[in-house]
A = this chain, B = another copy of it.
């Protein structure tokens, strides 16, 4: 009889997971590891992950976390990997916890307008399921057809419709989540209102997998609006389009979405669109007052725009929205788009874009800009040569100046994509030392050994 060789924490973890998880849940196949190593941010992992746990139920998550916690092995939770800030990038030796297989809609209650879902449910699938009851899931990140509810909650994802319906947090009523040590907690409730205890639901929403792993969510659904009216307006300059968006706000109209597209993006989609104007504003109003609101918006646009076009027909509305929806694919044809995500007070949009243009010129880095105008949320997009192994220094510097600009204008580094890996170095500046220190202490309450998505978010 020989004594067992001293085994590393990694090896021991693999042994325990193999013992305690159903057989199909654990993978160490290098191809599987590679497929679960990063997100759509372009960030590269610093080495190979240890293994992937394909969770199918809450117990898989508790088993994985309990053992990883005991052995102090980092865990990187992930949904569909559509994040844009490196939040799901797997660090060397980490255990990847893939939640995309927990994809059941557990309940859809039309009377109480809520759904209970597992974290791997694709956002658009939930919206479709709700549609069968005349309801919808309001948050609509651009990735909705691919991204998961769990990932949306982890980043507090936004989207086009949050102009009127709020961000993901505003649709999350309650959560089931697993703490670092495997403890299952339930937060929130099934009611619209409720103030018993601290708002852990909001605290977990947007915490980027650093506080707990979400295993189920109770989500608010809303009625599909009875009517929708959509309007596009082209402008001679981005500043005029921004002015038009301020005019909408000032007039007290709350559109369901208000999307700004700048000239370079229009040109990338189709040079013919660029000839129609130097900026496009797409506005959608919905509800019983949709037509009246759209008419009010059209009146406000008329003196500022070069052309204004309105429709209440859904198919035609889709055509009007098409330019906005085609923006990213068009930029992807030009290279690898790095999508920034700053937000500024709404009245500073024009100023922000003017400054971004100056930053672009100073560093000779082309910047393309989309904006959720009603939220002051800008996506300046730097497109880089996809063959480059790493981001050119100039692009990195331009990004840094864009972040500094956001803070200078009273804004934020990230409106809806999250901090992830990519924006970590600016976080302390935005939060300030006292709040930053407080957040780190909160993290320790949830995850005293720092195993949950280390190096992300804070």
Contacts and interface: CB of A to CB of B under 8 A. Distances in A.
Contacts of A439: 197-198, 200
A377 B192 CA distance: 8
A414 B195 contact: yes
Contacts of A438: 179, 183, 185, 200, 445-446
B445 A185 contact: no
Interface stretch (A204-212, A359-367, A394-402): A204-212
Interface string A422-441: 01000100111011101101
Contact of A287 (B198, B289, B411): B289
B413 A196 contact: yes
A243 B254 CA distance: 31
A412 B191 contact: yes
A307 interface: no
B195 A415 contact: yes
Interface string A203-229: 101110001000000000011111000
B412 A194 contact: yes
> What size tier do the contact residues of chain A reach?
35 or more
Interface stretch (A40-48, A95-103, A161-169, A311-319): A161-169
A27 interface: no
A186 B445 contact: no
Contacts of A251: 223
Count chain B CB atoms within 10 A of each CB in A198, A211, A375 and give the residue with the most: A198
Contact of A196 (B226, B246, B377, B431): B431
Nearest to A222: B254
B203 A199 contact: yes
A184 interface: yes
A195 B347 contact: no
A113 interface: yes
Nearest to A179: B438
A376 interface: yes
A78 B253 CA distance: 37
Interface string A149-161: 0000001101000
Interface in A439-458: 439, 441-446, 457-458
Interface stretch (A121-129, A274-282, A338-346, A381-389): A338-346
A25 interface: no
A93 interface: no
Q: Which 6 pairs show the lowest CB-CB distances between chains A and B? A: A288-B289, A223-B252, A289-B289, A202-B202, A194-B412, A111-B347
22 contacts: A112-B346, A112-B347, A162-B193, A185-B432, A186-B432, A186-B434, A191-B343, A191-B410, A192-B376, A193-B375, A194-B411, A195-B206, A195-B418, A195-B419, A196-B423, A196-B430, A198-B457, A226-B252, A253-B288, A287-B287, A288-B288, A288-B289
Given A183-B438, A191-B376, 8 more contacts: A192-B376, A193-B376, A194-B414, A195-B417, A195-B418, A196-B412, A197-B431, A253-B288
